[in-house]
């Protein structure tokens, strides 16, 4: 039975029958056996441990056994660890190629169960096979050519796959843009009629009707925001931001005031401490959309009884906006991903909230287009703080 101190063999082989056979033979002789199904897996395992010996099947998919060996040979901590090729190709050329790639020897298939442990024991004991004098240089040259050819082929395949993906992405963008436009037209008419109801133009509403209209209006506005995000994402990718003088103070103040009623409905305390700002050169529509998205998220992900605080500060060099909430927070491992289009945290707390996962992608795009930066500090269960820093570049001086 193998123990912690038994010699360990890393066996890189994709065929499950061969894996089982070798594992059974070696474990019955007291070896520890680690299995890897392909080259990258073997390399990853070898990075973590230092096996006593590595056995590599030459004919594995993806990175073949030669290439895997060359990569393993480049790892300093594996110096002195024998790497043995296993191949069904018994010809002299195959053996020489294995040695040139960095193997210390090779074993032919089918594996002879009676001899395997003895063969490995010899290599562990120091046996090394060598190439005949003068054979190495031409073989190395041939091996390098093969590697470059393979690389070339892979680059060609990757380029083709990339072109196909770009085309698909383009189609998807066109589809989203068309869909959003199609949906926006009827929505504009719904919003128009809602406005007539809200202003009483179509006659007085009783309380129940007024409440129903409020619910419809809230949902219609959410839908509008989502559609705007969708359309915006398509547009901002292809268009330049338009710079004009903007009062960020006025903008943030207006957005906060706009959200007060919603916050009250949700039972959330919406507080703000806004410092007047100097005129800022930026794209008002884009910035408004970004700030609205941050505020919308803060309200969306904060339970009743919580708070959302907005602060704005201008030190002459840069304008800093902070939106802090006491909400459900974001797990640490999701912090990087939330800015990726369509990403949403998959948790029972976040799931019930509507959204398309586009809000923060737009925030990042807009803020970076202004040479700014958006960052987040959060942890699951302890609220979130989003900080937007908009530097005054030369244009903004």
Planar angle of CA 189, 194, 197, nearest 5 degrees: 135
Cβ closest to ligand ADP, residue 120 vs residue 328: 328
Binding flag, residue 328, ligand ADP (CB under 6 A)? yes
- B/e letters for 183-219, b = 16+ CB within 10 Å, e = fewer, are bbeebeeebeebeebeeeeeeeeeeeeeeeeeeebee
* Cβ(291)–Cβ(274) below 8 Å: no
List the one residue out of 340, 346, 338, 348 whose CA is nearest residue 384. 338
Q: Which of 57, 104, 324, 325 binds ligand ADP (CB under 6 A)?
A: 325
13 binds ligand ADP, rule: CB under 6 A: no
Residue closer to ligand ADP (CB basis): 66 or 232: 232
330 makes contact with ligand ADP (CB under 6 A)? yes
Candidates 39, 105, 306, 327: give the one binding ligand ADP (CB under 6 A).
327
Q: Which residues contact 37 (CB under 8 A, 6 or more apart)?
A: 12, 13, 14
Kindly state whether residue 310 participates in binding ligand ADP, applying the rule CB under 6 A.
Answer: no
Site stretch for ligand ADP (CB under 6 A), options 48-56, 168-176, 179-187, 342-350: 342-350
Closest distance between ligand ADP and the C-beta of residue 367, in Å? 13
Cα(352)–Cα(345) distance, rounded to whole angstroms? 11
> How do strand 105-108 and strand 83-87 relate by DSSP bridges?
parallel
Pairing of strands 307-314, 318-325: antiparallel
Residue 344 is a binding residue for ligand ADP (CB under 6 A): yes
Q: How many residues does the chain have?
A: 397
Applying CB under 6 A, among 230, 236, 358, 374 the residue interacting with ligand ADP is 358
Contact 323, 290 (CB under 8 A): no
360 contacts ligand ADP (rule: CB under 6 A): yes
Query: By CB under 6 A, what part of segment 17-46 binds ligand ADP?
Result: none
Position among 293, 321, 370, 374 found at the interface with ligand ADP (CB under 6 A): 293
301 contacts ligand ADP (rule: CB under 6 A): yes
Integer distance in angstroms from the first to the last C-alpha of the chain? Answer: 75
**Contact code string over 118-157 relative to ligand ADP, x by CB under 6 A:** ----------------------------------------
- Binding region for ligand ADP (CB under 6 A): 293, 297-298, 301, 325, 327-330, 338, 343-345, 350, 355-361, 384
């Amino acid at each position: 039975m193998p123990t912690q101190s038994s010699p360990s063999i890393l066996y890189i082989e994709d065929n499950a029958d061969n894996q089982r056979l070798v594992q059974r033979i070696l474990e019955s002789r007291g070896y520890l056996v680690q299995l890897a199904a392909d080259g990258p897996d073997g390399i990853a395992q070898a990075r973590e441990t230092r096996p006593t010996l590595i056995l590599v099947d030459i004919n594995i998919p993806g990175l073949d056994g030669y290439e895997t060996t060359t990569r393993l040979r480049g790892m300093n901590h594996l110096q002195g660890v024998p790497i043995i090729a296993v191949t069904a190709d018994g010809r002299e050329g195959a053996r020489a190629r294995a040695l040139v790639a960095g193997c210390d020897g090779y074993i032919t298939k089918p594996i002879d169960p009676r001899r395997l442990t003895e063969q490995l024991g010899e290599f562990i004991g120091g046996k090394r096979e060598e190439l005949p004098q003068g054979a190495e240089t031409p073989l190395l040259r041939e091996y390098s050519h093969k590697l470059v050819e393979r690389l070339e082929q892979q680059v060609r395949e990757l380029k083709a796959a990339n072109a196909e993906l770009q085309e698909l992405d383009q189609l998807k963008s066109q589809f989203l843009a068309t869909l959003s436009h199609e949906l926006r037209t009827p929505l504009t008419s719904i919003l128009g009629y809602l406005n007539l109801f809200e202003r009483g133009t179509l006659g007085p509403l009783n309380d129940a009707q007024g409440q129903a209209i409020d619910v419809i209006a809230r949902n219609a506005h959410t839908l509008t925001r989502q559609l705007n995000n969708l359309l915006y994402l398509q547009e901002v990718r292809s268009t330049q931001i338009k710079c004009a003088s903007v009062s960020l103070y006025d903008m943030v103040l207006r957005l906060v005031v706009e959200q007060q009623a919603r916050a009250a409905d949700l039972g959330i305390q919406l507080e703000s401490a806004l410092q007047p700002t100097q005129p800022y050169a930026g794209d008002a529509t884009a910035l408004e959309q970004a700030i609205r998205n941050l505020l919308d998220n803060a309200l969306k992900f904060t339970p009743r009884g919580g708070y959302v605080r907005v602060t704005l500060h201008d030190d002459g060099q840069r304008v800093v906006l902070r939106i802090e909430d006491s909400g459900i927070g974001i797990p640490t491992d999701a912090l990087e991903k939330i800015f990726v289009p369509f990403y949403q945290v998959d948790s029972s707390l976040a799931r019930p909230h509507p959204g398309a996962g586009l809000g923060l992608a737009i925030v990042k795009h807009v803020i970076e287009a202004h040479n700014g930066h958006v960052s987040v500090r959060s942890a699951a269960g302890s609220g979130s703080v989003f900080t937007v820093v908009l530097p005054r570049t030369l244009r903004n001086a």
